[in-house]
Amino acid sequence: MSKKIFLIGAGRSASTLVKYLLEQSIELGWQLTIGDQDTEMVKTKVGSAKVNIIKFDVNNENQREKEVQDSDLVISMLPARFHPLVATTCLKHKKHLVTASYVSPEIKAMEEEAKKNGILLLNEIGLDPGLDHLSAMKEIDEIRNTGGKMLNFESFTGGLVAPESDNNPWHYKFTWNPRNVVLAGQGIVKFIQEGKLKYIPYHRLFRRTEIIEIQGYGRFEGYANRDSLKYLDVYNLRGIPTIYRGTLRRPGFSRAWDIFVKLGATDDSYIMEGSEDMTHRDFINSFLTYNPHDSVELKLMHYLHLDQDSPIIEKLEWLGIFENTKVGLKNATPAQILQHILEKKWTLESEDKDMIVMWHQFIYEKDGKKHRKTSSVVVIGDDSVNTAMAKTVGLPLGIATKLILTEKIKLSGVHIPITPEIYNPVLKELSRNGITFKHNLNPA
C-alpha cells in the first residue's frame, strides 16, 4: 500500500529535503503532499514532479486534522513553536512525526501516549541538532564499547560562506535565519572545563574563543554555545571532566561582533523611537556619548579603545554602518535595525556557495593511555538555493522518514537520534550522499 507523507513548510532550508522526498516517492511509490502558505514558491522547488501542493494554515484546525489524518507520516519544517500543535494532532490520529527542532517540554510530555499508540515523535534530526547527535554518539558509543573512558568532549558547528564565495572582510554571510545570528549567545552560556563549572556572561562571550584548524580549510574560531551541560545526560556523559559545545566563525569575526554587543546594538528588549527616520550613522551614534566636535567614527574608536588602523574599523566601514542611509524600519528594536543593515551586505548572491563545518574532539583513556580523536565534516553548497545548510538539515530528515516508513526504525515514543538503530543507517546513507566524517586519532 502506498505510503503518504505530509510535509508542512517548504521554505529556505527545505530544497534538498523536497528533492530527496520526490526521488524516494518515485522509487518507493509514495504520495507526497506539501503544505505551505506560499504555493508558488513550492512549485519552483518541485518543478514538473507529481506532487500535491496545498495552501496550508497550521492554525486551521479542520484543515490540519484532515491532512494529518490522511497521512502516514508528517514532517514539520515550521518554526518550533508550532510543533506541539502538530504533534498533538499526530498523536490523535496515530501518525508519526519528524522534525529538526529541539524537543520541547510540551512534546516531551507526550512520551507515554506516543509509546502507548506505537507512534514515533522523532525530533532533533537536522544539522545542529541532528548531524551532531548522529556523529558524536556513534564515536562515543564506540569508545565506550571498546573499553574507553571519556575525559573530554568538544563539539563545534558553523554555517559559513564557502572559500570561493568569501569576498568580504568578515568572511561571513547569512546561511540561516539572520535574526538567530544577531541574537546568538544571549542565553545562559555554561560548560565544564577540567571538572570546574564555567559560565560566560554575554558581554564577554565573543572575547572567549578558541582556534580550531581543519585540514584543507584552514583556521576557524569557536565561541561557546549556550548550555553545554544538558548534553551530560543526552550523551550519558555524567562525570566527564570537560564538555564544551560551540559555534564556528572565521578568525576575527568574534572580536568585531563584540563591538555590536558592547554598544548594545544586539538588544531586542526595547523599541527605538523614531527608528524609521534614523540613518545607519544615527543608529550607531545613538549608543555613543554626545560630542559636537568628534565624528561618530572617532567617538566609537575612543569608547571601545580601537586603533584607527584596526581591522575591526575596516569591517565596520564595509558594512556601511557609518553611512547616511535611511533605516526605514518603524518601531524597531536595536537588534532588528542591526539585522536590517547586515542583510544588505551578508545575503548570499544567487551564485554564492555556503559551507557547513562540524568538528568534534574526543579525549579518552584506554588501557592506561590517553587518546585524542577528532572527527570533522565540511559540506559545500551548490548555489544560494541548494545550500549546504539545506543539505545538512534536509537529508537527515528525509533519510529518517524513509527508515521509519520502511520499518527499519521501529521505535515509539519521543526520541532524538542518539541510538544505533537511528544513527548507523542514517550516517551510512549520508555518506552515500557525500556527507562523510574524517577521523584522526593521536595520543593525547
- The domain spans of the chain are 4-123
User: What span, in angstroms and rounded, lies between the C-alpha atoms of 5 and 71?
Assistant: 6
Give residue for cell 585540514: 215
pLDDT at 1: 67
The Cα angle at residue 136 between residues 132 and 137, in degrees rounded to 5: 115
pLDDT at 12: 80
User: What span, in angstroms and rounded, lies between the C-alpha atoms of 53 and 67?
Assistant: 12
Residues 6+ apart with CB under 8 A from 221: 209, 210, 211, 212, 248, 249, 250, 251, 252, 253, 254
Contacts of range 264-269, beta carbons closer than 8 Å, 24 or more positions apart? 264/334, 265/334, 265/335, 265/337, 265/338, 266/182, 266/183, 266/186, 266/334, 266/335, 266/338, 267/333, 267/334, 267/335, 268/182, 268/183, 268/186, 268/333, 268/334, 268/335, 268/336, 269/333
User: What span, in angstroms and rounded, lies between the C-alpha atoms of 110 and 98?
Assistant: 14
Listed residue (100, 103, 94) closest to 8, CA to CA: 100
* pLDDT tens-place values along the chain, 444 residues long: 689 999 999 888 889 999 999 999 999 999 999 999 998 888 888 877 788 899 999 999 999 999 999 999 999 999 999 999 999 999 999 999 999 999 999 999 999 999 999 999 999 999 999 999 999 999 999 999 999 999 999 999 999 999 999 999 999 999 888 999 999 989 889 999 999 999 999 999 999 999 999 999 999 999 999 899 999 999 999 999 999 999 999 999 999 999 999 999 999 999 999 999 999 999 999 999 998 889 999 999 999 999 988 999 999 999 999 999 999 999 999 999 999 999 999 999 989 999 999 999 999 999 999 999 999 999 999 998 889 999 999 999 999 999 999 999 999 999 999 999 999 999 999 999 999 999 998 887
Residues 6+ apart with CB under 8 A from 273: none
**Amino acid identity at 52:** N
CATH fold label, 4-123:
Rossmann fold (3.40.50)
On whether the CB atoms of residues 394 and 382 are closer than 8 A, the answer is no
Helical segments of 128-194, H only: 131-145, 178-182
Helical segments of 120-214, H only: 131-145, 178-182, 202-205
In 80-89, which positions are buried (b, 16+ CB within 10 angstroms) versus exposed (e)? Answer: eebbebbbbb
On whether the CB atoms of residues 329 and 340 are closer than 8 A, the answer is yes
pLDDT at 176: 81
Q: Map residue 312 onto helix, strand or coil.
A: helix
Cell numbers for 159, please give them: 554555517
On whether the CB atoms of residues 350 and 332 are closer than 8 A, the answer is no
C-alpha Rg value of the chain to the nearest Å: 23
Q: Map residue 21 onto helix, strand or coil.
A: helix
Partnered with residue 227 across adjacent β-strands are 190
User: What span, in angstroms and rounded, lies between the C-alpha atoms of 113 and 413?
Assistant: 8
User: What span, in angstroms and rounded, lies between the C-alpha atoms of 54 and 90?
Assistant: 19
